[in-house]
Chain A
Amino acid sequence: MGSVLLFLVLLFVALLFLSPFYYIIVNSVKSYGEILKDAGSWPTHLVLENYSIAWKWVNFLQAFFNSLFITTVSLTLMVSVGAMAAWRMVRRSHRVSSIVFSLFVVAMVVPFQSVMIPMMKVTSELGLLNSRLGIIVIYQGFGMPFTVFLLHGFVKTVPRELEESAYLDGCRTMQTFGYIVLPLLKSILATVAILQTFWIWNDFLLPLLVLFDATKRTIPLAVFSFFGQYTDQWDYALATLNMGMIPIIVFFLLLQRFIIRGVAAGSLKG
Chain B
Amino acid sequence: MTKMQRKPQQLRAVRDDVIFIAPAVVFFVMIVAASFLLGIYYSFTSWNGVGKHAAWIGLENYRYLVTEDGRALRSAWFTIRFTITSVIVSNFIALLLALILTQPIRGAKAFRAIFFLPNVIGGIILGFVWRFIFDSAFSSLAETTSLAFFQLPWLGTPGTGYWAVVIVFVWKTTGYLMVIYIAAIVGIDTQLLEAARIDGAHAGQILTRIMIPLMTPAFTVCLFLMLSWSMKLFDVIFSLTKGGPFQSTEAFSLNIYLEAFSFNNYGYGSAKAVLFFIAVGVVTLIQVTATKRLEIEQ
Please indicate whether A and B come from the same complex rather than being unrelated chains.
yes
Binding site for B on A (CB under 8 A): 3, 6-7, 9-10, 13-14, 17-18, 20, 23-24, 27, 35-36, 38-41, 81-82, 84-85, 87-89, 92, 96-97, 100, 103-104, 106-107, 109-123, 126, 137-138, 140-142, 144-145, 148, 173-174, 177, 198, 201-205, 209, 219-220, 223-224, 227, 232, 234, 237-238, 241, 244-245, 248-249, 251-253, 256, 259-260, 263-265, 267-268, 270
A100 to B180, CA, bound (A): 28
| Cβ-neighbour of B39 out of A96, A118, A173, A202 (below 8 A) | A118
| Cβ-neighbour of B118 out of A17, A38, A263, A268 (below 8 A) | A17
Interface class of chain B by DSSP: helix
A97 to B24, CA, bound (A): 12
Chain A: CB-nearest residue to B171: A17
Interface segment among B81-89, B121-129, B157-165: the answer is: B121-129
Most buried by B among A36, A100, A260: A260
Can you give 5 contacting A-B residue pairs, CB < 8 Å?
Answer: A40-B137, A85-B23, A88-B21, A115-B35, A121-B35
Binding site for A on B (CB under 8 A): 13, 16-17, 19-21, 23-25, 27-28, 30-36, 38-39, 42, 49, 97, 100-101, 103-107, 111-125, 128-133, 135-137, 139-141, 143-144, 171, 176, 179-180, 182-184, 217-218, 221-222, 225, 228, 231-232, 234-235, 238-239, 253, 256-257, 260-261, 266, 269-270, 273-274, 276-277, 280-281, 284-285
Please name all residues of chain B whose beta carbon is closer than 8 Å to the beta carbon of A35 when the two chains form the complex.
136
Please name all residues of chain B whose beta carbon is closer than 8 Å to the beta carbon of A117 when the two chains form the complex.
39, 42, 49, 256, 260, 266, 269-270, 273
Q: Is the CB of B17 within 8 A of A111?
A: no
A212 nearest CB across to chain B (Å): 13
Please name all residues of chain A whose beta carbon is closer than 8 Å to the beta carbon of B17 when the two chains form the complex.
88, 92, 96
Most buried by B among A10, A20, A41: A10
Q: Is the CB of B281 within 8 A of A268?
A: no
A240 to B107, CA, bound (A): 32
| Cβ-neighbour of A138 out of B31, B114, B184, B253 (below 8 A) | B31
Q: Is the CB of B28 within 8 A of A107?
A: yes
Q: Is the CB of A17 within 8 A of B273?
A: no
Q: Is the CB of B114 within 8 A of A85?
A: no
Given contacts A109-B284, A122-B34, A268-B217, 16 further A-B contacts (CB under 8 A): A6-B105, A20-B130, A85-B24, A87-B20, A92-B13, A96-B21, A111-B232, A114-B276, A115-B273, A117-B39, A121-B38, A142-B31, A144-B27, A202-B124, A238-B132, A245-B121
Chain B: CB-nearest residue to A36: B136
A113 and B140 in contact (CB under 8 A), knowing A122-B34, A220-B124, A263-B176?
A: no
Q: How many pairs of residues, A versus B, come closer than 8 Å at their CB atoms?
A: 271
A23 and B137 in contact (CB under 8 A), knowing A84-B24, A173-B20, A264-B179?
A: yes
A109 and B121 in contact (CB under 8 A), knowing A13-B97, A81-B27, A267-B225?
A: no
Please name all residues of chain B whose beta carbon is closer than 8 Å to the beta carbon of A104 when the two chains form the complex.
28
A10 and B24 in contact (CB under 8 A), knowing A20-B133, A205-B257?
A: no
A81 to B13, CA, bound (A): 18
Please name all residues of chain A whose beta carbon is closer than 8 Å to the beta carbon of B116 when the two chains form the complex.
252, 259-260, 263
A19 nearest CB across to chain B (Å): 8
Q: Is the CB of A82 within 8 A of B180?
A: no
A268 and B277 in contact (CB under 8 A), knowing A7-B105, A205-B235?
A: no
Q: Is the CB of A111 within 8 A of B277?
A: yes
Please name all residues of chain B whose beta carbon is closer than 8 Å to the beta carbon of A103 when the two chains form the complex.
28, 33
A41 to B184, CA, bound (A): 42
A177 to B49, CA, bound (A): 45
A123 to B141, CA, bound (A): 48
Most buried by A among B20, B42, B112, B238: B20
A17 nearest CB across to chain B (Å): 6
Please name all residues of chain A whose beta carbon is closer than 8 Å to the beta carbon of B124 when the two chains form the complex.
202, 204, 220, 223-224
Please name all residues of chain B whose beta carbon is closer than 8 Å to the beta carbon of A119 when the two chains form the complex.
31, 35
A40 to B133, CA, bound (A): 10
A121 to B217, CA, bound (A): 40
Chain B: CB-nearest residue to A88: B20
Q: Is the CB of B125 within 8 A of A245?
A: yes
Chain A: CB-nearest residue to B277: A114
| Cβ-neighbour of B232 out of A23, A88, A112, A202 (below 8 A) | A112
Please name all residues of chain A whose beta carbon is closer than 8 Å to the beta carbon of B42 when the two chains form the complex.
117-118
Please name all residues of chain B whose beta carbon is closer than 8 Å to the beta carbon of A237 when the two chains form the complex.
128, 132
A237 nearest CB across to chain B (Å): 7
A126 and B30 in contact (CB under 8 A), knowing A97-B21, A256-B113, A264-B179?
A: yes
Chain A: CB-nearest residue to B101: A10
